[in-house]
Amino acid sequence: MKLTFDSPRSQPDPYVIKEGEHYYMYATGYSGVQLYVSENRTEWRYEGSCFSREGFKEYWAPAVTEVEGTFYLYVSCMPKESDDVHQQRLMVAEAKSPEGPYRFLREIAESFSIDPHCVRSGDGLYMFYSVNDYEAERAGTLIVVDKMSSPTELCGKPKIAVRATLDEEIFMRDRFRKGQHWHTLEGAFYFRVGDWHYLLYSGNCYQNENYYIGYAAAYGKEDDLTKLEFRKVPDEKTYAPLIRKNENEEGTGHNSVLAEDGHLYVFYHGRDLTPESREGERRTARICELVADGKTLRVINR
């Protein structure tokens, strides 16, 4: 279901949390992180930019985690003078409320690093994010997980969580050299139900109509997320999107999940399926319900 906004702006890469009686959505923005607020999950008002850094642009895929009363915002951006998106690198900012404004603290990973998701597991913090692998059989962007020594520092020992295995994950053919097709898995979001661990991701290119959400799963009581072995569902050779293009929308991807009152809600972006859908920035936030049944996830009320 497409969400309602009081602004004509787009909401790429929506990340939603609930704090008190309000829902907060953080979204990609050129000059800063966009912030939206809602009381009911479906109707949202634009509150402006909650974080920007002098000399930087293109704030991609923000995510917010609260730790001991402080809200940490993780996002990637790149220097204003650069035209190379592979200068994107992860950084962290902090605030005393989910609205911000957030204050820059430090960069936490070198370029290229994007799409952070910081999660608690057991007594520790872990971060899933995306980096590049130029030498893999299926070269491209993949998802890693690293333990955090604090909310502002990675341990620096990332482990591959999930990588491309399908032609449907090709971002661009012959992107950097002839014969090397560039693949992309990005937009990681981790959550756990019982002893099942789920890792949602987006595959392909966000500009393409067939951008989609897939997932991998792992089973066990392990709290150290770097020790889990995630496996694509149903398997690494089968293209079986959780959310993909339908008769109403295309370019569906980059999600976050909110657990509330025994339900799971997945927020993602898509484009209305019209002839103009890929002209300019038309990614807008949507919602549907997510059901976890053992290894299997499915969406309803889309």
How many domains is the chain built from?
1
Q: What is the pLDDT along the chain (302 residues), one digit of tens a residue?
A: 999 999 999 999 999 999 999 999 999 999 999 999 999 999 999 999 999 999 999 999 999 999 999 999 999 999 999 999 999 999 999 999 999 999 999 999 999 999 999 999 999 999 999 999 999 999 999 999 999 999 999 999 999 999 999 999 999 999 988 889 999 999 999 999 999 999 999 999 999 999 999 999 999 999 999 999 999 999 999 999 999 999 999 999 999 999 999 999 999 999 998 776 667 789 999 999 999 999 999 999 88
What range defines the domain where residue 274 resides?
4-300
As a whole number of angstroms, the distance between CA 216 and CA 224 comes to 17
Residue owning tokens 């019982």: 194
pTM for this model (two decimals)? 0.97
Residue 190: which CATH number?
2.115.10.20
Structure tokens at 56: 């930087």
The CA dihedral of 266, 269, 274, 276, to the nearest 10 degrees, is 180
As a whole number of angstroms, the distance between CA 290 and CA 200 comes to 12
**How far separated are the first and last CA of the chain, in Å rounded?**
5
